[in-house]
């Protein structure tokens, strides 16, 4: 009997173990939405190299794997639900021959695999690492590409062995979305720029942006001849024939009080005396943009109160273009924009401005008609439409003059001119816009070579200083924290442009999703863009703004630093022990200073990833070391609080990838 009982118990235990044992299954990385795991800048592709061609390493083809370009960062949340990662790694045969690549596999801060330097022609190296218990996995390819192209490498045959039916997830972005900025007062406060430029005789539109309880009435004393103010809306319109600088006193009045501000109107050759701020549709809707979405965005900018804080532009990006036609043989809108001029007029009626997109190439980035053609009449063929990528070059015939005149007739206020602009194309459009009879902010995109910066300053109103931005700390760091060399060149009329803002819900290569920047990183993002005097173009659907993101975008003291009429960009004045200090002079003699905890980003393989155990660090600012002598009154601009007087040093806590941003007023 005892023996029978033992056999029965053994059988039961065996059944229990078999029933509850976790099964494993391999998961190819190219069969999940791999783009959503990328925190690098160039796109990653499954089953091909980064150019979309067959994956090939040292003459060997692979049907499975992930092709990447330049420095690549793939981050996965496994939560202990994986047992193994395996791959064959190497430089793609169509990649750059001269650059060494290093592949890393990192689990919970531990380097599990280091390939050493690999070059084109090296045999692929096998990777096989144990992931038991690993919560966060990082796949890093490190290469110093210095802006060179075709920097292709491959994670060939890359697969995870997962437990049961689990799949890898994105790294959690669950930090507290803390709100720092207090609500605007109910009394009037004027927030629009204090300087505005227009060319003689051209249409003029300036809206007095003011917060405070409504109803509110507006006034403007000493307006130059030719301008009129609507006292109910605060819109100043008309045109001014005489060159000169006109000092105008603006006022906004409600039942609780009156606010005043001096506006300098400069009529001359230079427009865009402060960086443009507004909204761009690409990172919201990409190719799905249409007339209804644009109007909804304009309405939301007003409804959300952004207009009252100075946000002005509603910019349509790529995918609005139809074929050439009309009296000017200019680009006409496609079927998604059936009443284009009415749409522009409606946006203007809200006191806002309208932007548009084009390119000097035959086809745009999204494959729509561009500003040139190999046919004299500019028509586009079915072959071009079917093979649009093959026509990303400037055609034999250019149509800048016709397109610029059409933009002016529609009432366009901003042009984004796209796709690796070279100087001759930039100059042709610059001349055409100046001869159009309308002030149109001229922005070129993307990656304007630094070697031609003097031409960009001469020809354009803003110029992209790097690649397209993505919603990751790596992309933000590359786009903004490396711009010190550009700083001396930006200023009134010609602004350094690090690309759109990556807050709220964004697309950036994948379906609409909340930005992957942590709340601390988002405060750093808005702070640094403002310190750099960069264009501020919101890249998310405005009607989807949550309270945290809206609060980020409506701090008038931060916006005022970006819009300061002196127009100087901050400079990187200190970098030590994982901290950066950026200092910006302001017109009134004060200084805006950003203290950033960048965490030695990029200096170790582990620093490219977020591990979930990061903490705030203490930092002591030595004022003398950054060239500031004497006593200063400090103001925390995010909290809009005075911090007191400081002499010599200032000590504070800064979150990981976060910021403390202060305005410093000399004590006399």
468 is catalytic: yes
How far, in Å, CA of 544 to CA of 570, rounded?
32
- State residue 522 phi and psi, 5-degree precision: -70, -40
Q: C-alpha angle with apex 487: 481 to 493, nearest 5 degrees?
A: 125
Helix residue ranges per DSSP H, 207-288: 282-285
Strand partners, 660: 595
In 3D, which of 225, 375, 301, 354 has the Cα closest to residue 541? 301
- Print the SS3 string covering 388-435: HHHHCCCCCEECHHHHHHHHHHHCCCEEEECCCCCHHHHHHHHHHHHC
Spot the catalytic one: 30, 92, 439, 468: 468
CB neighbours (10 Å) of residue 527? 28
Distance CA 495, CA 487 (A): 9
Q: Which residues contact 332 (CB under 8 A, 6 or more apart)?
A: 321, 322, 323, 324, 325, 326
Give, in degrees to the nearest 5, the angle at Cα 537 between 514 and 518. 30
Nearest alpha-carbon partner for 466 in 499, 490, 432, 424? 499
CA atoms of 473 and 582, how far apart (whole Å): 18
The SS3 assignment for 120 reads coil
Q: Return the H-helix or E-strand segment holding 565.
A: none
Element (H, E) at 597: strand 591-597
Distance, CA of 381 to chain centre: 34
Cβ-Cβ contacts under 8 Å for 120 (sequence gap 6 or more): 91, 92, 93, 95, 96, 97
Query: Where does 143-286 show beta strands of DSSP type E?
Result: 152-163, 189-190, 195-198, 204-207, 210-211, 217-221, 227-229, 235-238, 244-254, 257-267, 277-280
Q: Where does residue 644 rank: exposed (0-12), middle (13-18), buried (19+ CB within 10 A)?
A: exposed
To the nearest 10 degrees (0 to 180), the angle between helices 473-480 and 519-531 is 10
Tokens found for residue 577: 């022990």
Smallest CA-to-CA distance from 154 within 251, 228, 53 is with 53
Structure tokens at 389: 């990528």
The answer to whether residue 418 is catalytic is: yes
- Residue 104: both structure tokens together: 């890393």
> What token pair was written down for 536?
């501020």
- Which one from 30, 317, 418, 564 is the annotated catalytic residue? 418
Catalytic residues: 418, 468
């Amino acid at each position: 009997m005892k023996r029978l009982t033992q056999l029965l118990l053994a059988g039961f235990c065996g059944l229990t173990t078999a029933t509850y044992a976790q099964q494993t299954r391999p998961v190819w990385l190219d069969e999940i939405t791999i783009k959503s795991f990328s925190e690098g800048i160039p796109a990653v592709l499954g089953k091909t190299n980064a150019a979309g061609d067959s994956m090939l390493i040292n003459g060997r083809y692979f049907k499975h794997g992930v092709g990447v370009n330049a420095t690549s960062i793939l981050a996965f949340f496994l939560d202990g639900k994986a047992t193994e990662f395996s791959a064959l790694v190497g430089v793609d045969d169509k990649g750059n021959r001269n650059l060494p690549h290093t592949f890393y596999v990192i689990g919970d801060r531990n380097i599990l695999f280091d390939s050493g330097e690999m070059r084109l022609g090296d045999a692929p190296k096998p990777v096989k690492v144990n992931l038991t218990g690993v919560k966060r996995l990082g796949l890093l390819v490190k290469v110093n590409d210095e802006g060179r192209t075709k920097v292709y490498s491959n994670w060939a045959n890359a697969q995870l062995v997962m437990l049961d039916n689990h799949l890898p997830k994105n790294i959690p972005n669950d930090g507290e979305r803390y709100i720092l900025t207090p609500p605007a007062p109910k009394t009037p406060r004027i927030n629009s720029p204090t300087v505005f430029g227009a060319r003689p005789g051209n249409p003029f539109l300036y809206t007095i942006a003011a917060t405070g309880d409504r109803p509110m009435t507006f006034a403007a004393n000493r307006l130059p001849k030719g301008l009129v103010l609507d006292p109910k809306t605060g819109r100043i319109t008309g045109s001014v024939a005489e060159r000169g600088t006109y000092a105008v006193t603006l006022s906004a009045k409600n039942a609780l009080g009156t606010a005043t501000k001096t506006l300098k109107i400069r009529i001359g050759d230079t427009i865009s005396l402060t960086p443009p701020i507004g909204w761009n549709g690409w990172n919201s809707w990409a190719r799905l943009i249409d007339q209804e979405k644009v109007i909804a965005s304009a309405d939301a900018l007003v409804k959300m109160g952004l207009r009252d804080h100075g946000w002005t532009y509603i910019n349509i990006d790529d995918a609005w273009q139809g074929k050439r036609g009309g009296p000017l043989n200019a680009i006409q809108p496609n079927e998604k924009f059936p009443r284009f001029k009415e749409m522009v007029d409606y946006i203007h009626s809200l006191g806002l401005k309208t932007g548009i997109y084009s390119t000097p190439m035959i086809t745009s980035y999204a494959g729509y008609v561009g500003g040139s053609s190999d046919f004299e009449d500019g028509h586009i063929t079915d072959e071009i439409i079917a093979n649009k990528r093959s026509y990303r070059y400037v055609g034999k015939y250019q149509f800048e003059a016709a397109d610029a005149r059409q933009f002016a007739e529609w009432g366009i206020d901003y042009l984004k001119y796209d796709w690796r602009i070279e100087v001759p194309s930039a100059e042709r459009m610059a001349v055409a816009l100046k001869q159009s009879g309308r002030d149109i902010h001229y922005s070129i995109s993307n990656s304007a070579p630094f070697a031609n910066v003097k031409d960009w300053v001469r020809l354009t109103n803003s110029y992209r200083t790097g690649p397209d931005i993505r919603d990751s700390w790596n992309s933000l760091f590359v786009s903004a924290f490396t711009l010190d060399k550009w700083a001396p060149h930006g200023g009134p009329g010609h602004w350094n442009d690090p690309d759109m803002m990556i807050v709220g819900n964004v697309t950036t290569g994948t379906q609409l999703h909340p930005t992957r920047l942590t709340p601390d990183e988002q405060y750093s993002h808005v702070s640094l863009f403002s310190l750099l005097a960069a264009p501020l173009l919101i890249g998310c659907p405005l009607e989807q703004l949550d309270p945290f993101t809206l609060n980020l975008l409506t701090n008038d003291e931060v916006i005022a630093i970006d819009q300061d009429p002196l127009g100087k960009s901050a400079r990187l004045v200190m970098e030590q022990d994982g901290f950066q200090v950026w200092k910006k002079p302001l017109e009134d003699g004060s200084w805006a200073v950003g203290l950033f905890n960048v965490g030695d980003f990029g200096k170790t393989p582990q620093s490219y990833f977020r591990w979930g155990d990061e903490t705030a660090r203490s930092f002591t600012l030595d004022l003398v070391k950054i060239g500031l002598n004497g006593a200063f009154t400090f103001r925390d601009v995010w909290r809009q609080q005075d911090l007191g007087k400081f002499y010599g040093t200032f000590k504070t806590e800064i979150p990981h990838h976060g910021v403390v941003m202060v305005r410093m007023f000399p004590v006399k």
